Amino acid sequence: MKETRVQKVLEAMEERAVPQMIISDPVAIFYLTGKWIHPGERMLALYLHVNGGHKLVINKLFPQEKDLGVDLIWYDDVEDAVEILSRHVDRNAVMGIDKTWPARFLLRLQELGGGSAFVNASSIVDDVRQIKDGEEQELMRISSRINDSVMEKVIPLVTKGMTEQELEQEVRRIYKEAGCEGVSFDPITSYGKNGADPHHAADGTRGKRGDSVVIDIGGFKDNYASDMTRTVFIGEVSDRAREIYEIVREANMRGIAAAKPGNRMCDVDLAARSYIEEKGYGQYFTHRTGHSIGLEDHEAGDVSSVNTDIIRPGQCFSVEPGIYLPDEEIGVRIEDLVLITEDGCEVLNHFTKDLIVVPQE
């Protein structure tokens, strides 16, 4: 078990009057134990109690060769896994459940009286995970450095006549070549009008001269995600597209400047959004400004107008304003990850944000 992380979770449980908790999310279990277990449809449950006696209830199909620092409770496919779990819980205390535990398990535990009441306790682990420890911070830096190098290799490919789907496949190959476990989300490689759709799925479109190309990519390195967006142009850039690009770049930098301890997450959103609104394009910035990131590309804690949480050192999140003009076939997004320090933030992406026009061969 990652004892420091477990202790932080237990302290948060006490603060919120949740004496016991079942954690089922394999990502959260990895965070707390250092072990990936992918159970499929079978039950996997890490049981924590503020007084100790933690258990990991696990199917015999997933033998563990190393000591995980927690008592293992085994079951097989013909046994009632929830009933076995229920033998180890405090039936007279509130039970916290995380958001990923399937209803078929939760309802069975309720039938068995496995707690005096049941509450959604996902935010306990989510809040602890938002603050990256020193080990995690370095892994995030390493992952983002690789992302810089991948972006450098991908951008010249936009003039090679590839379809969006072919370019996406090249992105996946380059991450593997760079030593990543894979991509951290489906790459976005959008030409021209498709770039005006913020989450366009790659299709058979090929780029043409003057197109903006939105490249939103990230990979997993040693389990930690990277994420970055750059927008480049094929052959030439119109004055109109250049204007949009420079507005988005300035909004990105203003958002980054607001990313510091003591500010709120909504302050970062406002810093980026208000500039785009000031320039007359507020209605064309159609998504939140960012999201937290770590073991998953999207973690709890978004950068939006409604998140009033105070920013704390150790948080890592994206700043990614955009302007999307479908009628003009222009889409621009610029995204960086920031790691919050004691007095500001460290930008994890170092690939240039200067406007790039990729020459056509």
Tokens of 260: 């510091």
Residue 166 to residue 294: CA distance in whole angstroms:
28
Residue 243 has pLDDT above 90, yes or no: yes
Residue 38 has pLDDT above 80, yes or no: yes
Tokens of 303: 């950068």
Same domain as 177, residue 30: no
Same domain as 173, residue 238: yes
- The last residue of one of the domains, among 103, 129, 155, is 129
Query: Tell me, what's the pLDDT at 227?
Result: 98
CB 242 within 8 A of CB 323: no
Residue 65 has pLDDT above 90, yes or no: no
- The pTM for the full model equals 0.96
Residue 84 to residue 57: CA distance in whole angstroms:
8
Same domain as 241, residue 106: no
b/e per residue, 19-30, with b = 16+ CB within 10 A? Answer: bbbbbbbbbbbb
- The last residue of one of the domains, among 75, 95, 129, is 129
CB 340 within 8 A of CB 315: yes
Residue 348 to residue 157: CA distance in whole angstroms:
24
Query: Tell me, what's the pLDDT at 40?
Result: 95
Residue 156 to residue 158: CA distance in whole angstroms:
6
361 falls in which pLDDT band (50, 70, 90)?
confident
Tokens of 83: 């009933």
Same domain as 298, residue 228: yes
184 falls in which pLDDT band (50, 70, 90)?
very high
Each residue's pLDDT tens digit, 311-327: 999 999 999 999 999 99
Backbone angles phi, psi at 63, to 5 degrees: -60, 145
122 falls in which pLDDT band (50, 70, 90)?
very high
- The last residue of one of the domains, among 109, 129, 149, is 129
Residue 306 has pLDDT above 80, yes or no: yes
Same domain as 200, residue 86: no
* Number of structural domains found in the chain: 2
Mean pLDDT value of segment 31-53: 97
How many percent of the chain have pLDDT more than 70? 100
Query: Tell me, what's the pLDDT at 61?
Result: 97
Same domain as 142, residue 118: no
Return mean pLDDT, the chain: 97
Residue 278 to residue 246: CA distance in whole angstroms:
14
Residue 299 to residue 301: CA distance in whole angstroms:
6
